[in-house]
Amino acid sequence: MTSHYDVLIIGSGGAGLSLALKLANQATHVAVLSKFALTAGSTYYAQGGISAVFDAEDSIESHIEDTLDAGAGLCNPDIVRLTVTQGKSSIDWLRQQGVMFTEEVTASGEKILHLNREGGHSHRRIVHTADATGKAVSLSLIERASEHPNITLFEHHNVIELITCPDKSLAGKRICGAYVLDSSQQGVKTMTAKIVVLATGGASKVYLYSTNPQSATGDGIALAWRAGCRISNMEFMQFHPTCLFHPKAQSFLISEAVRGEGGKLILPDGSSFMEHFDPRAELAPRDIVARAIDHEIKKRGIDCVYLDISHKSADFIHSHFPTIYKKCLKFGIDITQQPIPVVPSAHYTCGGVLTDSYARTDISNLYAIGEVASTGLHGANRMASNSLLECLVFADRACIDILQKLALIPEPSSPPAWDDSQVIDSDEEVVVSHNWDELRHFMWDYVGIVRTDKRLHRALSRVELLKNEITEYYSHFRITSDLLELRNLVIVAELIIRCAQQRKESRGLHYTLDYPSLDNSKPPSNTILTPYK
């Protein structure tokens, strides 16, 4: 079965849905694919908020400076300025879509946005909806998209492969669609489109411990790599310092805003330690805080450290962190009375598919927006709450470019139908689950917060073995969503390792014991991998 669209957007998070809504009044056939439910992506689970300059004491220049500082010399200054200057307009657009942000009343009785402060920021500039900003954004955008006659939403549709076709005018190739597994019907669809947009999110599920939902398996990065796009800066995987540590709690993030509002990191004996690692203490950038916690856990042989906000009033905690309070209470932790056990976990993919300032990739008419993309905004370390801002800004940039060219792009011809006549149903599903577990374990052990050349070499050897097993399995058995994710994850793992091996220094999120200092002998450069020909 083949269906045709003007624009095919792969991913239903903040980036994908924002672009769909921005396009839909002029593009009459926009399809949005969600691998699972529409709310299964990382946007829905984002707690903190969106960074934007609203405070009179703050400034665009200060936001730019903070972002560049966090990025450790690898941010693109032009991209940083482009993104930061659109902060206020991005928030205004979300409010027009029905997103209700937390407000406060001034002494004069005026209602204004309440602004949080998070690590790396020199001012309060985090616009938020209590501690569930992503949920508010996601539900509002889903509601608007569901109502728009030009947008078709597909849940449980997992992309198998991008489809490219020759383009004589470009002396290369252009995108023309995708093969898609409809998990609800257990069938494969062929979807063609003039424009395809990757908005698939990040790849943190390549690690054993992650704050991300199950969907964060690097699908868009792997799809783009196999199609021929360059990938950049995959060594910079951000580990959030504070994930709830409890045997029954899976992937629950304790927001940066808890530290921003005065939460203290303490050891089991109650003593603080962050002041020994950075003068900004709990408000240091995430990479510094995560390494400090990792150091204390390994040095002392403890399971976790603790984040204490109990010195604040119960009313303050209930109003500022209702989601965190309820979640912790479910596990017997009353954060108004006791500290929260926390550990670092994989959180954000700072690298990804290399794009320009209009979200264009190396393949004509293929775009990448959101966490899947490497835009130059984050450099070697993403500053807190710049990610949702990036989603909104680059959805807008992609929209501008797409609408300028959409009418000029010819309708793609129908590609061959998906052929699974030579494969059978698997009788060895254990291979998928076993390889999945092995991959995530050795990535955590060897390519985690602290790395060495020896660990990276070991990890690459195991990746090569797994790739061969997975390729053989993929060629013999009918595809499933789990198999597609595993096939993508092993590619992502290889890209992370290869990028890490090329960087002979410690910078931002990449820390190696073999090269513990910055390499100041030459200007800092991005790591760029080009697919094999």
Query: Which residues form the catalytic set?
Result: 286
Strand partners, 173: 166
> CA 265 to CA 226: how far, in whole Å?
43
> CA 467 to CA 486: how far, in whole Å?
10
**CB atoms closer than 10 angstroms to residue 155:** 17
347 SS3 class: strand
> CA 16 to CA 193: how far, in whole Å?
16
70 SS3 class: helix
User: Are the beta carbons of 216 and 210 closer than 8 angstroms?
Assistant: yes
**CB atoms closer than 10 angstroms to residue 350:** 27
- From residue 498, alpha-carbon distances to 17, 75, 524 in Å are 32, 21, 18
- From residue 124, alpha-carbon distances to 18, 63, 173, 360, 432 in Å are 25, 10, 46, 33, 46
- Sequence-distant (≥ 6) Cβ neighbours of residue 248 within 8 angstroms: 331
User: Are the beta carbons of 79 and 375 closer than 8 angstroms?
Assistant: yes
- From residue 128, alpha-carbon distances to 96, 117, 257, 291 in Å are 15, 11, 10, 27
Q: What is the DSSP string of 129-172?
A: STT-HHHHHHHHHHHHHHH-TTEEEESSEEEEEEEEEEEGGGTE
- From residue 214, alpha-carbon distances to 171, 202, 486 in Å are 39, 11, 12
Beta pairing, strands 373-374 & 352-354 = parallel
Q: What is the DSSP string of 215-241?
A: T-S-HHHHHHHHHT--EE-TT-EEEEE
Amino acid, res. 170: L
